[in-house]
Every structure is written in C-alpha cells, then in structure tokens.
Amino acid sequence: MKLEPKDKVGILTSGGDAPGMNSVLRGAARVGAELGFEMVGIEDGYVGLLAERFVPLDLRTLDEASRRGGTVLGTARSKVFPTAEGQAKAKAIIEKQGLSALIVVGGNGSLTGAHALLSARGKNGPLAIGGIPASIDNDLGSTSMAIGVDTAMNTIVEACDRICDTATAHRRTFIVEVMGRDCGYLAMTAGIAAGADLVLVRETDKSDDEMVTQVARIIERAYTEPSSRRRVLIIKSEGVRMATAALKDAVDARLSVRLPDVDSRITVLGHVVRGGTPTAFDRLLGARLANATVRALADGETGFMAGWVGPGITRAPSPYDPYVVFTPLPEVLEETERLHQGDSPLARWRKRVYREVETVLER
Ligand code: F6P
C-alpha cells in the first residue's frame, strides 16, 4: 500500500553501531520530509521501541551528526525484543503510535527483528518495513557492502601504518587483532591494503599448530634470509579461535632458540575499529540506501532490505538508484545464514581467495 503525505515513518538503529548510520538517519529524514512524511526516530533500537521512546528527527542536528561515527539515536542489543512477549509488545506500540512504516538500520540480528515485525499493523493496514544493512563485519548476504565497513577498514589500515612505523624502527613483529566477529572480510581487506605479511581468518579452518608454524616461518624468513625486511605484520581476525596471546607465546617459544632476538608484540584494536569519522563512501552509501528505502516504502514496497550492487548480487537495479537492489527480507536472512555457514557462492569465493591471497602476501 502506498504511503500518503503526513504518514508517520519510524526509523531505528540497532545492534553494533557502524560509522555511516547517522548519514542514513539524515538521508531518511530529508527524503521523508521532501515526500511529506512525519519522520520519527526511535531511541536505542528495539529497547527504545519497547519503551516507546519516539523522538522527532531534527535536520540540523542530523547534518552535523552525519559527519560523525556512532548513531545519534543510540543503539542496543535487546534481550527482550526477540521473545514472543517482546514482539507482541512492540507490535502493540507500533499500532498505538500510528506508524505506517518502519526503517531498521543494522546487521543480521536487527534485520531478523525487522522480519518478525512484518505482521505488525500500521496506521491503515500492514506496517511497511524496509531494512538497511549496517555492520562493520560485512557478514550480510544480498549486499556487496554494509554501512561502516569502509570506515572500519580505513581505521585498521591507519592503525597498521602507525604500528609499522614503530615495528620497523625496532625490527619487530606485530600481531594485530581486529573485529569482524566470525567473518574475515574486514581483516583480509584491511590486511591487503596495509601490506600485511599474513592474514589469519576463521574461514580457512587452520589448526592452532598450522597457524603457529606459518607465523614462525614468516618471521624466520623475514629475519634470516638476506632481505631488507625490518618488520612483520600479521593481522588476525577476532573470529579465529586461538587466542592472540596464546599464538604469540607459541610462536615465541618455537623461535626462542634459533632466533632469540626476535621481538614480537600484540595489539588488539577492539572497539577502536568501530568508532570514528565515517569515510565519504560510508556517508554516501548511507544516504543512497536511505533515499531508495524511503522512496520504495512511499511507493508501497515492504519487507525488503536495500543492498548495494557488487559481486554476486544479481538482482535488477532499483528504479530509484542503479546501485541499489531490493531483496526480500527472508531471502536476505537465508543468504546471510549461508554466508555464515560458508555455503554460498560468495562464501566459497571468499574462502578460495583468502587462501590465494595468503601465498601472495607471504612472498
Ligand atoms: O558486529 C559488530 C561487532 O563490532 C563485531 O565485530 C564484534 O564482534 C561485536 O560487534 C562486538 O560487540 P559488542 O560491542 O557488543 O562487544
């Protein structure tokens, strides 16, 4: 059902924040205002929805916010919302508030929540729902890029550049652990860009011993063969089961006799990777996905996620933006599950490429 002028459209950000979320809010607020809708924010994701914390979206505030990381609406991982009672309460609040449409900005869990709300009633019929992918992990199906990935990647590269300065000065090895949950995309792409000697990701299924052997071999070659190498940079995705400290200790122990002077350090970047000024790409991605989403909802579309075109995304371009594709939410969730299980063409391609890249980086 098409939306009508003055219809109320809610928007929330949920799950781990991602740089660029504020640009989504700004884009949605501006396009929604242009189309005559009442745009309202919901604070702290599904937690705020359950507490009925609806707030007006101020364009001037959002103009400023879109230059910054985080999300001005706040975000949360609700424990109550996934329960049957939580969802019933959320649906009752949506109906009471007279929403006609809801935009959910977030990752896998957030979009699963959006899917669950498809049976909610809006002001004049079923609630219209649009999802926008935002997660630094890039572990969502049906989009080539999620909001926040580009900024996180740049943050890791910048941190590694700094680390390499001091590593080179001391002729040290650094193992840098980065976020990404169980998905190695961020570690791998940042590792290539940062000039890492090795990137360890969960998807390549290595045993602890294989990883220790590989890291030790790289260090040994770097410091014993005639070479001008003064540093070794290993990027390790947080999804790799072996603890980073245990990896360092095992490598140090293995090299201690032959190379007693080898000096290694660990840096865990942690939440540093998730904050910071969004790149121009993330700002634009947020604005364009928001634009297409609001326009699609206005035209009566519902139950979709707006994705960004790219490898493996074969859907027809949307009428609003040739770089934006719409995929039904159930399909997005299935594709995401296959990606997590390593069981989709994209997952298989990534796994193969991770191995190919490894041998190239090791040279
Ligand atoms: O999903 C985004 C993410 O930053 C992951 O990379 C990370 O594993 C997780 O969230 C951390 O979550 P929290 O901020 O709740 O500790």
pLDDT tens-place string over residues 65-117: 999 999 999 999 999 999 999 999 999 999 999 999 999 999 999 999 999 99
Q: What average pLDDT score do residues 323-349 get?
A: 96
Q: What average pLDDT score do residues 136-159 get?
A: 98
pLDDT tens-place string over residues 158-190: 999 999 999 999 999 999 999 999 999 999 999
Q: Which tokens belong to 95?
A: 């109906």
- Rounded distance from Cα 16 to ligand 1 centre (Å): 6
Residues annotated as part of the active site: 137
Residues pairing with 42 in the sheet: 12, 54
Q: Does residue 363 or residue 289 have the better pLDDT? A: 289
Q: Measured between alpha carbons, how far is 227 from 259 in angstroms, rounded to an integer?
A: 16
**Letter for the amino acid at 275?**
G
Which residue's CA is the nearest one to ligand 1's atom 15? 16
How many beta carbons lie within 10 A of that of residue 209, not counting itself?
A: 10
- Whether ligand 1 lies within 6 angstroms of the CB of 274 is answered as yes
Give the pLDDT band (50/70/90) at residue 363.
confident
How many beta carbons lie within 10 A of that of residue 181, not counting itself?
A: 18
CA distances from 231 to 234, 264, 265, 268, 361 (A): 10, 10, 11, 18, 14
- Whether ligand 1 lies within 6 angstroms of the CB of 106 is answered as no
Summary mean pLDDT of the chain = 96
- Rounded distance from Cα 321 to ligand 1 centre (Å): 30
Which residue's CA is the nearest one to ligand 1's atom 13? 16
